[in-house]
């Protein structure tokens, strides 16, 4: 049962490293971040790992990603509404920066931050490999929850990868500001809102799955007590 997730882990490591090195031509730092992220998720592939913990891990990481996207949404809103930002240099209170320039400062810093990229990659690995593990184990009810989370995450991530990631790749590699990098940013804005909704839905499903898994032993125990009482009743009567 563990062979498929382990194979997926190895395939992911090779694929991401190959994509970063041969397609994007990134530096050593990004390659190290990729390896560290994959090492971080290795414990959940161990034979003794309790898979009932996966929803808790996923819920926490989804919460972190919601926070990331809410911050990004502030800058997306600046771009879409075309609101200038005071530059803080005075000039009689009239000095300002264009919203696209402010967003460029933010996104070039954020997208090149190792700890941000590490966290996002760990989220991707836990959500993908963890979902595979969840679908392979458990009762039908548990698998249905995992199937629902996979479906919601797949739709949200598809919009994000289609509209946001290509723009990020361009901005991340830029060394000089170009306002055209932020043209038609409305698609990014709405894709991010959709992704936040998908992440919040996954958080709700994770909570529901946790409650289902935590109540299962109690139900089983109650059945055992009932069975014993049924057996004991005739003995008392006799």
Name, in order, each residue with C-beta under 8 angstroms of 140's C-beta and a sequence gap of 6 or more.
none
| Ramachandran angles phi, psi of 184, nearest 5° | 55, 45
Using a 10 angstrom Cβ sphere, with 0-12 exposed, 13-18 middle and 19 or more buried, the burial of residue 101 is middle
More confident residue, 117 or 159: 117
The confidence score (pLDDT) of residue 232 equals: 47
pLDDT digits (tens, 9 = 90+) for 157-196: 888 888 899 999 999 999 999 999 999 999 999 999 999 9
What tokens does 193 get?
């809102």
What tokens does 102 get?
């402010």
Predicted confidence band of residue 220 (pLDDT cuts 50, 70, 90): very low
Q: Where are the domains of the chain?
A: 55-237
Cα(165)–Cα(111) distance, integer angstroms = 11
The confidence score (pLDDT) of residue 216 equals: 65
Helix (H) or strand (E) holding 67: helix 54-81
Q: Which residues pair with 85 in a beta bridge?
A: 97
Strand bridging mode 85-86 / 96-97: antiparallel
More confident residue, 70 or 155: 70
**Nearest CA to 122 among 167, 50, 192, 62?**
62
End-to-end C-alpha distance for the chain, whole angstroms: 49
The confidence score (pLDDT) of residue 238 equals: 46
Cα(105)–Cα(175) distance, integer angstroms = 10
Question: Could you tell me what percent of the chain has a pLDDT over 90?
Answer: 55
Stretch 16-30: mean pLDDT, rounded? 89
Helix (H) or strand (E) holding 48: none
Residue 234: other Cβ atoms inside 10 A: 8
């Amino acid at each position: 049962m563990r062979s498929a997730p382990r194979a997926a882990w190895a395939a992911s490591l090779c694929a991401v490293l190959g994509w970063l090195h041969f397609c994007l031509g990134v530096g050593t730092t990004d390659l190290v971040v990729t390896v560290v992220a994959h090492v971080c998720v290795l414990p959940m592939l161990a034979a003794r790992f309790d898979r009932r913990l996966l929803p808790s891990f996923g819920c926490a990481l989804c919460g972190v990603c919601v926070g990331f996207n809410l911050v990004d949404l502030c800058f997306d809103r600046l771009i879409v509404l075309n609101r200038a930002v005071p530059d803080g240099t005075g000039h009689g209170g009239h000095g300002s920066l264009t919203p696209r320039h402010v967003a460029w400062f933010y996104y070039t810093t954020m997208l090149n931050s190792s700890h941000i990229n590490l966290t996002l990659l760990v989220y991707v690995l836990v959500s993908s490999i963890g979902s595979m593990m969840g679908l392979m184990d458990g009762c039908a009810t548990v698998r249905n929850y995992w199937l629902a989370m996979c479906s919601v995450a797949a739709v949200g991530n598809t919009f994000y990868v289609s509209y946001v990631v290509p723009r990020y790749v361009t901005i991340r590699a830029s060394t000089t500001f170009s306002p055209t990098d932020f043209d038609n940013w409305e698609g990014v804005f709405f894709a991010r809102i959709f992704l936040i909704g998908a992440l919040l839905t996954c958080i709700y499903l994770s909570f529901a799955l946790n409650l289902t898994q935590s109540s299962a032993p109690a139900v089983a125990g109650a059945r055992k007590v009932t069975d014993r009482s049924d057996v004991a009743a005739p003995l008392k009567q006799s």
